[in-house]
């Protein structure tokens, strides 16, 4: 190869025409979702309700197929954040309870009524917007208490008077909840303190209200670490999708989502060549460069630039240079026989190697939630 030339080599063209799947794709393994659901059931009481958190497009997995799969497997409570997510579920035939965890404005309550959604009310402004509606027929609500999350929620001492205020209205209080700020922490004292505050508050609620309520506090980390705090309902999100928020616990869960792409271009570049924007990578040898047609617009974090890896035929190869909007580059120099069209794994298993959302998060200093939620809707989801 001429030292300064960039060479596109015909030997890299693939002859395979077998793949009928989209070349960029998110594969959803439903049997892994059901495995995780079963695992959750095995660590809680059979009478505990599971409120499946499917907000943010079911953590990037695609809300409608995930909701349908869960509903047909015995889940009757779903958690979303926005009114629009709730309406989307109803319009796609989900009949179960749908809890809206995000704050709702005055004008949004008509949609809540119309689609029989369940607001989780957690502020005075939201409560008064709700009370301004003409409650011609009964509506179910949950009430949220802030025991230390520092986000939405009434203070524990406010709840008795709020419940009293609602007594004469056609409102059915079907749940009381709080949210843990730090349940993944090995130091358990903050979660215990939040639970104590919550339990003390429950003491002041009339028993005829409590006996009809779902009482729920636990996100995934708390579901795993605090079985004694499950009350009569839990709200798992991340573990449903097979990612554990607890170190050393991943082996108990099966990731549901894989992200695959392909080598769209292969070219040889000489040593001392810069790769991608801002010249953050310079080759130190003649390099076989693979170009992958996904970028930060698709949810590949810019911060994976020069630190991330992908898998090709069971081996791992580094991401070099800055991730671009629609593409990123990998170093395939050590790949025995690379071809254009070769499928690569960004998230998931190849041979006996696996990259999880937690691995990617650790490479780019974030959390697996962010990696999953940012996967763009325009990547087709394929159910396996």
Ligand X SMILES: Cc1ncc(COP(=O)(O)O)c(C=O)c1O
From residue 279, how far is each of 272, 298, 320, 321 by CA, in Å? 11, 22, 10, 7
In the complex, the smallest distance separating the C-beta of residue 250 from ligand X, rounded to whole angstroms, is 14
Stretch near ligand X under the rule CB under 6 A, chosen from 7-15, 159-167, 237-245, 345-353:
237-245
Sole binder of ligand X in the list 86, 245, 301, 368 (CB under 6 A): 245
For 179-256, list the strands marked E by DSSP: 214-216, 233-234
Sign of CA dihedral 22, 25, 29, 30: negative
How many residues form the binding site for ligand X (CB under 6 A)? Answer: 11
Task: Give dist(CA 28, CA 262) in Å, integer.
Answer: 18
Sole binder of ligand X in the list 175, 236, 338, 368 (CB under 6 A): 236
Longest dimension (CA), the chain: 85
In the complex, the smallest distance separating the C-beta of residue 346 from ligand X, rounded to whole angstroms, is 21
Within residues 131-150, the interface with ligand X by CB under 6 A covers none
Within residues 283-322, the interface with ligand X by CB under 6 A covers none
Beta strands 287-292 and 328-331, pairing class? antiparallel
Indicate whether 69 belongs to the interface with ligand X (CB under 6 A): no
Question: Can 55 be counted among the known catalytic residues?
Answer: yes
Cα atoms in the 13 Å half-sphere on the side-chain side of 220: 23
Closest C-alpha among 146, 167, 168, 144 to residue 155 = 146
217 or 287: whose CB is closer to ligand X? 217
84-113 footprint of ligand X as x/- string (CB under 6 A): -----------------x------------
Region at 211 (left for phi over 0; alpha for psi -120 to 50; beta for the rest): alpha
Cβ atoms of residues 91 and 111 within 8 Å = no
In the complex, the smallest distance separating the C-beta of residue 132 from ligand X, rounded to whole angstroms, is 25
Secondary structure percentages of the chain, helix, strand, coil, to 5: 35, 25, 45
101 or 281: whose CB is closer to ligand X? 101
In the complex, the smallest distance separating the C-beta of residue 300 from ligand X, rounded to whole angstroms, is 22
Cβ atoms of residues 345 and 307 within 8 Å = no
For the chain, list the strands marked E by DSSP: 25-28, 49-53, 77-80, 97-100, 118-121, 139-145, 171-178, 214-216, 233-234, 257-262, 265-269, 274-275, 281-282, 287-292, 309-312, 315-320, 328-331, 343-350, 353-355, 381-383
Q: Residues with Cβ < 8 Å from 38, sequence gap 6 or more?
A: none
Indicate whether 220 belongs to the interface with ligand X (CB under 6 A): yes
Q: Which of 12, 55, 59, 144 is catalytic?
A: 55
Indicate whether 237 belongs to the interface with ligand X (CB under 6 A): yes
Residue 310: strand pairing partners = 317
In the complex, the smallest distance separating the C-beta of residue 6 from ligand X, rounded to whole angstroms, is 45
Stretch near ligand X under the rule CB under 6 A, chosen from 63-71, 167-175, 219-227, 370-378:
219-227
Indicate whether 328 belongs to the interface with ligand X (CB under 6 A): no
225 or 235: whose CB is closer to ligand X? 235
Q: Which of 155, 167, 193, 277 is catalytic?
A: 277
Nearest residue (beta carbon) to ligand X: 237
Task: Give dist(CA 124, CA 378) in Å, integer.
Answer: 38
Stretch near ligand X under the rule CB under 6 A, chosen from 229-237, 294-302, 306-314, 328-336:
229-237
179 or 339: whose CB is closer to ligand X? 179
Task: Give dist(CA 125, CA 45) in Å, integer.
Answer: 36
Indicate whether 258 belongs to the interface with ligand X (CB under 6 A): no
80 or 347: whose CB is closer to ligand X? 80
Stretch near ligand X under the rule CB under 6 A, chosen from 83-91, 131-139, 215-223, 278-286:
215-223
169-198 footprint of ligand X as x/- string (CB under 6 A): ----------x-------------------
Stretch near ligand X under the rule CB under 6 A, chosen from 126-134, 218-226, 315-323, 339-347:
218-226
**Active site members:** 55, 277
Q: Can you give the binding site for ligand X, defined by CB under 6 A?
A: 53, 101, 179, 219-221, 235-238, 245
């Amino acid at each position: 190869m001429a030292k300064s030339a960039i060479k596109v080599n015909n030997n890299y063209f693939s002859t395979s025409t077998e793949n009928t799947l989209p070349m960029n794709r998110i594969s959803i393994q439903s049997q892994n979702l059901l495995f995780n659901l079963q695992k959750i059931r095995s660590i809680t009481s059979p009478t505990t309700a599971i409120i499946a958190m499917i907000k943010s497009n079911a953590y990037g997995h695609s809300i409608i197929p995930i909701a349908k799969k869960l509903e047909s497997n015995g889940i009757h409570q779903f958690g979303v954040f926005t009114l629009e997510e709730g309406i989307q579920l109803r319009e796609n035939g989900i009949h179960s309870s749908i809890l809206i965890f995000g704050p709702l404005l005055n004008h949004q309550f008509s949609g809540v009524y119309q689609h029989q959604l369940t607001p989780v009310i957690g502020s005075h402004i939201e409560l008064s917007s709700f009370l301004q509606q003409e409650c011609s027929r009964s509506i179910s609500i949950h009430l949220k208490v802030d025991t230390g999350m520092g986000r939405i929620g009434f203070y524990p001492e406010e709840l008795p008077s709020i419940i009293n205020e609602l007594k004469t209205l056609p409102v059915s209080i079907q749940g009381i909840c709080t949210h843990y700020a730090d349940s993944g922490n090995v130091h358990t004292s903050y979660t215990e303190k939040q639970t104590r505050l919550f339990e003390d508050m429950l003491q002041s609620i009339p028993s005829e209200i409590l006996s009809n309520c779902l009482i729920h506090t636990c996100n995934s980390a708390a579901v795993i670490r605090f079985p004694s705090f499950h009350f009569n309902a839990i709200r798992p999100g991340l573990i449903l999708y097979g990612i554990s928020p607890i170190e050393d616990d991943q082996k108990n869960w099966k990731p549901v989502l894989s992200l695959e792409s392909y080598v769209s271009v292969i070219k040889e570049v000489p040593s001392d060549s810069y790769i991608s924007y801002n010249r953050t990578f310079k080759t130190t040898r003649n390099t076989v460069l693979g170009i992958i047609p996904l970028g930060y617009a698709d949810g590949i974090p810019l911060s994976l630039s020069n630190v991330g890896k992908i898998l090709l035929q069971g081996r791992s190869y580094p991401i070099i240079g800055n991730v671009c909007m629609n593409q990123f580059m990998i170093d395939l120099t050590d790949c025995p026989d690379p071809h254009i069209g070769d499928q690569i794994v960004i998230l998931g298993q190849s041979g006996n190697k696996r990259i999880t959302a937690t691995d990617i998060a650790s490479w780019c200093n974030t959390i697996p939630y962010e990696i999953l939620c940012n996967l763009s809707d325009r990547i087709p989801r394929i159910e396996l």
